[in-house]
Amino acid sequence: MLTGTDERKRVLLAVGSFLLPLFVWCLVSYVPFIWHPKVEVTVPGGIDYFQVGMLVDKPQFDDEVAYAREQNLALPAGKPANPIYLPAPHEVAQAFYTGFTKMPVQKDAPWLHESLWHSIQIIFWGFLISSIIGVPLGILAGTYASFGRLTEPFIEFFRYLPAPAFGALAVAVLGIYDGPKIAIIVIGTLFQQVLIVANTTRKLEVTIVEAARTLGTRGVKLLTKVVVPGILPDLYRDQRILLGWAWTYLIVAELIGTSSGITFYITQQARYQNFDNVYAAIMIIGIIGFGTDLILARFGRRLFPWDRSQDRR
Amino acid sequence: MNDQNLPSYLDQSEAVRARFDRINQRETILEVRGLGKRYRSPQGETEALRGIDFSVRRREFVCVIGPSGCGKSTLIRILAGLEDHTSGDVLLDGKPVTGPGQDRGMVFQGYSLFPWLTVKKNVMFGPQMNGRSHDEAERDARTWLELVGLDKFADAYPHQLSGGMRQRVAIARALVNQPRILLMDEPFGALDAQTRSKMQSHLIDIWKNIDVTVLFITHDLDEAIYLADRILVLKAHPGEVQEVIEVSVPRPRSPGQFNSSEFRATKARLEELIHPAPEPLPEDEQAVKPHMIRFTDVHDNVE
């Protein structure tokens, strides 16, 4: 049992685990003498190719200053800066905000939330299709030993085939739009799902099934009234973990056929060197993933009040 | 204790003998004939049970006792229909047993309650599986929960109950199906001594008031003598019936009888059967020889 102070300490540490990396990021971004390998030119001086706002490597800048001094030219000036691919926290925060509020600079470019919504739909359908096939298959394989032996070796083999390798095939079969993307997520998730669910099913206490049998439970009812409710809390946890895996396949999946969704947004923004937007987009994936997991975990506690293993978390 | 002065465990008082005569006139509920069980293991074929013969009369309380590895759990699992036997017959009311059924209730040692169901729903489970309506099942469950004294906990989940309470629910859940025989596989083995003795008295009360026959497995000699009419003593490797003892301790039983001469005589006999002269330890046990080294001050003695 956690006491009040333990609980407060735990929350504090959890917040700290986020603040710590943010603090490091701030240090690197805002303290001029930490890292900052570049110089941002503020006064071009006599160096003809320097422009205001230009990023130059520090040694090169020093060389040019020495050269200008030697030639008695106007001295250039600059301030330490980080490379363009490392925007400061406030820039990313700004991009995060403008991503939802300001028209994209490029014509036809999707809004951040449009890209995101598209990605969420892909994940939803991919995970749903995978679960509709994978969960029952896993439960059957875990319950009936012979069914497990018939299916699992092949699934075990198939799960080593990298899902992205099926990209070209998926495009050939399902076209270039959302079909192949959903297929990649299904291929990436399904086979792991069957094995994990089968394993969870096998871990169900044998005594519980035997008790049900001595009470007169037989056949399908043993599955629907005992096995399924018995594994439900663990199955729910498995699904949460698998949903995380589905997100990792998303980025690869969205590059297949016509690039779309959050991946298209990220590659597009990276091409125009809007790295603040890139970071904002990557982070929002994290926020959505982590957020849904937190909500699902809380929801699970409501759903399964008898589940003891949750008390320990 | 001066065990020399004990009567023979076979001596029965008039009342006890008359009781056994009455029991023997009742019909046979369970009959086991020449039961054997072999199974293949990595070490080759093992014979778990060989030629087990016994029968249980209606409303008799039979305990099965034996050293570990004597196959007493295998025996009760075969009777419950959870395992197959390789030879012989198991007849319940004259009909061979094939697979589990509601005519045999079982209480397990471990916690076998369904954790996702409340206490009441756990008890309702059996009737509902056997086609009773929700209302009927609920009515029955209430009755049986009252009988085991847990009507106040009807809506609690099993994890909120103590070990003894859980086993009470397990008993109610088995009895609600009104089985011909209640099979109990060391049901109180995991309970502390105090709870255990309470549960034993409670079980006797239930058995007295309900038309049910009990086959009870235990490794606790006192428990067996306290509860049983007859004790089936098994020996190990392979599991065979060594002796069937008619317990001469008169009924009604009470914890005060633990020191009676009949009780001690029976216990002495059981100890003789179950813990005979010490045999050499198995090899892997022999390999463990602690070599004691003194780590404390020589003068710092605790004894």
Based on the domain organization, do A112 and A159 belong to the same domain? yes
Cβ neighbours of B115 in A, within 8 Å: 208, 230, 306-308
Residue B90 forms beta bridges with which residues?
A: B32
pLDDT given for residue A7 in this prediction: 86
pLDDT digits (tens, 9 = 90+) for A64-99: 999 999 998 888 999 999 998 899 999 999 988 888
A158 and A59 inside one domain: no
* Inter-chain residue contact A308 with B159, CB threshold 8 Å: yes
Residues facing residue B47 across a β-bridge: B38
Residue A206 has pLDDT above 70, yes or no: yes
**Lowest mean per-residue pLDDT among A173-182, B53-62, B64-73, B115-124:** B64-73
The closest CB to that of A221, out of B101, B129, B174, belongs to B129
Q: CB-based contact (8 Å) between A308 and chain B?
A: yes
- Determine whether the interchain pair B105/A214 forms a contact, defined as Cβ–Cβ distance below 8 Å: yes
Domain annotation for chain B: domains and CATH numbers: 3-103+179-286 (3.40.50.300)
A270: helix, strand or coil = helix
**A240 or A99: which carries more pLDDT confidence?**
A240
Residues 6+ apart with CB under 8 A from B118: B154, B155, B156, B157
**Domain assignment present for A86:** no
Q: Are residues A172 and A232 in the same domain?
A: yes
Task: Tell whether A211 lies on the interface with B, counting CB pairs under 8 A.
Answer: yes
Residues A130 and A255 grouped into a single domain: yes
pLDDT at A37 over 50: yes
Chain A: closest CA distance from residue B242 (Å) = 29
Inspect the interface and report whether the beta carbons of B159 and A306 lie closer than 8 Å: yes
The CATH number of the domain holding residue A190 is: 1.10.3720.10
Q: Can you read off the two tokens belonging to residue A242?
A: 């698998």
Quick one: A257 and A204 in the same domain? yes
CA-CA distance, B96 to B273, in Å (whole number)?
31
- At residue A312, does pLDDT exceed 80? no
Residues A240 and A122 in one domain: yes
Rounded Cα–Cα distance for residues B266 and A304 (Å): 50
What pLDDT does residue A313 have?
46
A145 pLDDT above the threshold of 50: yes
CA dist list (Å): B277 to A132, B222, B285? 63, 20, 18
Q: Please, what is the average pLDDT of chain A?
A: 90
Domain count, chain A: 2
E strand residue ranges, chain B: 28-41, 44-57, 61-65, 87-92, 95-96, 104-107, 181-185, 213-217, 230-235, 240-246
Q: What are the pLDDT digits (tens) for B118-145?
A: 999 999 999 999 889 999 999 999 999 9
Model ipTM?
0.86
- pTM reported for the whole predicted model: 0.84
**A229 Cβ under 8 Å from any chain B Cβ:** yes
pLDDT at A3: 62
Mean pLDDT of A48-68: 90
Structure tokens at B170: 């397990």
Phi-psi domain of B178 (left: phi exceeds 0; alpha: psi -120 through 50; beta: other)? left
In sequence order, what are the beta bridge partners of A55?
A40
Whether residue A68 lies inside any domain: the answer is yes
Answer for the pair A292, A247: CB distance below 8 angstroms, yes or no.
no
Asked whether residue A51 falls in the same domain as residue A191, the answer is no
Q: Of A51, A81, A111, which marks where a domain is finished? A: A81
Strands (E), B93-143: 95-96, 104-107
Residue that terminates a domain, selected from A48, A81, A114: A81
Task: Give per-residue burial for B146-180: e unless 16+ CB within 10 Å, then b.
Answer: ebbebeebbeebbeebeebbbbbbbbbbbbbbbbb
Which residues in chain A have their CB less than 8 angstroms from residue B110's CB? 205, 207
Q: Which domain holds residue A292?
A: 101-310
Residue A159 lies in a domain: yes
**pLDDT tens-digit map of A245-300:** 898 898 888 888 788 888 888 888 888 888 988 999 899 989 999 999 999 999 99
Chain B partners of A305 at a C-beta cutoff of 8 Å? 157
The answer to whether residue A215 scores a pLDDT higher than 90 is yes
A1-5, A166-170, B165-169 — which is least confidently predicted?
A1-5
